[in-house]
Amino acid sequence: MADAYFSLFSLILLLLPLYILIFLYFIVRPRPVRVPIKNRHVFITGGSSGIGLALAHQCAQQGSDVTLLARNVSKLEEAKESIKLATGRDVRIFSADVRDFESIKKVVEEVGEIDVLVCNHGVYMPQELETQELEEIRFMIDVNLMGTFHLIKAALPGMKKNRGERGPGSIAIMSSQAGQVGIYGYTAYSASKFGLRGMAEALQQEIIADNIHVSLIFPPDTETPGFVEENKRRPQLTSIIAASSGAMKADEVAKKSLNGIKSGTFIVPCNFEGFLLSVSTAGLCPQRSFLMAFMEVVTSPILRIAGLCFQWNWYESIEKWHAQKK
């Protein structure tokens, strides 16, 4: 008799993961969705350089109508030409500063209905908070965070129009792995990117009923013109800690981003370290995939230990660096 109870108990225990999977299958929200990009209007800010330019190429390749926005006109024209040459497609270009709401509103009114809005523009000037000028700190917050508010606020009314006929829409926001974990030298930059996450989580609840889906993208160090500039002034410790995650090419990041957008994924990691980072910082973010939700549930204690090991390693590096300086 005791034996029978024991086998029954073991069976129930063994089946527990299955029950959890089934449970998660029914409760994950929002529901999975596909966002098509072919023959649809994709609007990319910061599309004249780096990750944004790579994204523009791939969208044009896949048959989207692409519009690019950035400040510098000659870089925009160069981007337009290179996309025409590579894909045969014409893209529209607009020069405006995302910090200027009125001019962003004008551009958005002029381009017509947007299906996929990619807020990719961004600036990064790493430096310790104590010595960084307030002006630079404000600049990063203004461009990265307020600029994204301006864009979304300007584009949302048009994006909501006729959604029923036009199918699912997407708002993609370019964060950074420094928007998932605070990194030495990135006080202002991390704050601007963490801010985007709060905005994105709240925004998804506000626009789910309009069939618009938010994707937050978290690249590691990526080889771009902006990154070359950044490296000229990056504190050594920032580079040491950031090297915990491998560097990527802009094309690879663009490919991951686009796949994330098309599958309506909320949190979009770009490499393996990014995947671990995303699972261990899942918090209360929306999750459409029951398999990913399962992964988050069963790996959480192990990943917390892994995360603590990374912190241990980073604080060791900081200690060593200070000892060397003395």
Ligand X SMILES: NC(=O)C1=CN([C@@H]2O[C@H](COP(=O)(O)OP(=O)(O)OC[C@H]3O[C@@H](n4cnc5c(N)ncnc54)[C@H](OP(=O)(O)O)[C@@H]3O)[C@@H](O)[C@H]2O)C=CC1
Ligand Y SMILES: CCCCCCCCCCCCCCCC(=O)[C@@H](N)CO
Residues facing residue 216 across a β-bridge = 173, 267
Binding positions for ligand X, 192-231, rule CB under 6 A = 219, 221-222, 224-227
Q: How far is the CB of 281 from ligand Y (least distance, A)?
A: 8
CB of 244 to ligand Y, least distance (A): 4
Q: Does 122 bind ligand X (CB under 6 A)?
A: yes
Angle at 274 between CA 272 and CA 275, to 5 degrees: 65
Q: Is 264 in the site for ligand X (CB under 6 A)?
A: no
DSSP assignment of 170-215: EEEEE--GGGTS--TT-HHHHHHHHHHHHHHHHHHHHHGGGTEEEE
Q: How far is the CB of 306 from ligand Y (least distance, A)?
A: 4
**Binding partner selected for residue 49 from ligand Y, ligand X, none, CB under the kind-specific 5 to 8 Å limit:** ligand X
CB of 46 to ligand Y, least distance (A): 11
Q: Does 280 engage in binding with ligand Y (CB under 6 A)?
A: yes
**E strand or H helix at 65:** strand 65-70
Asked if residue 310 binds ligand Y (CB under 6 A), the reply is yes
Q: Which residue in the block uniquely carries the two structure tokens 């000892």?
A: 323
Catalytic residue set: 175, 189, 193
Give least dist CB 277 to ligand Y, A. Answer: 5
The alpha-carbon radius of gyration of the chain (Å, integer) is 22
- C-alpha 6/C-alpha 150 separation (Å) is 62
CB of 35 to ligand X, least distance (A): 20
Q: Which is nearer to ligand Y, 45 or 177 (CB)?
A: 177
Q: Does 277 bind ligand Y (CB under 6 A)?
A: yes
Which residue in 213, 218, 197, 195 sits closest to 265, CA to CA? 213
For residue 84, give both structure tokens.
Answer: 């025409």
Q: In the chain, count of helices (H) and strands (E)?
A: 13, 9
Query: Of 73 and 129, which CB lies nearer to ligand Y in the complex structure?
Result: 129
Instruction: Take residue 118 and report the two structure tokens written for it.
Output: 């990619």
Options 119-127, 150-158, 204-212, 290-298: segment touching ligand X (CB under 6 A):
119-127
Closer by beta carbon to ligand X, 24 or else 137? 137
Instruction: Provide, for the chain, the percentages of residues in helix, strand and coil under a 3-state DSSP scheme, each rounded to the nearest 5.
Output: 60, 10, 30
Question: Contact between 71 and ligand X (CB under 6 A)?
Answer: yes
| Residue 120 interacts with ligand X (CB under 6 A): yes or no | yes
C-alpha 263: how far from chain center:
14
Report how far apart, in Å, the C-alpha atoms of 314 and of each of 114, 225, 241, 311, 319 are.
42, 27, 6, 5, 9
Tell me: does residue 51 bind ligand Y (CB under 6 A).
no
Q: Which does 174 bind (CB under 5 to 8 A by kind): ligand Y, ligand X, none?
A: ligand X
256 in contact with ligand X (CB under 6 A): no
- Exactly one of 56, 125, 174, 277 binds ligand X (CB under 6 A); that residue is 174
Residues 35-54 that bind ligand X (CB under 6 A): 45-46, 48-52
- Provide the residue count of the chain: 326
Size of the residue set binding ligand Y (CB under 6 A): 21
Q: How far apart are CA 309 and CA 311, in angstroms?
A: 5
Total binding residues toward ligand X, as defined by CB under 6 A: 30
Contact present, 180 and 270 (Cβ < 8 Å): no
Residues that bind ligand Y in the complex, under the rule CB under 6 A: 124, 176-178, 181, 183, 220-221, 227, 230, 242, 244-245, 273, 276-277, 280, 303, 306-307, 310
Residues that bind ligand X in the complex, under the rule CB under 6 A: 45-46, 48-52, 70-72, 75, 97-99, 120-124, 143, 147, 174, 176, 219, 221-222, 224-227
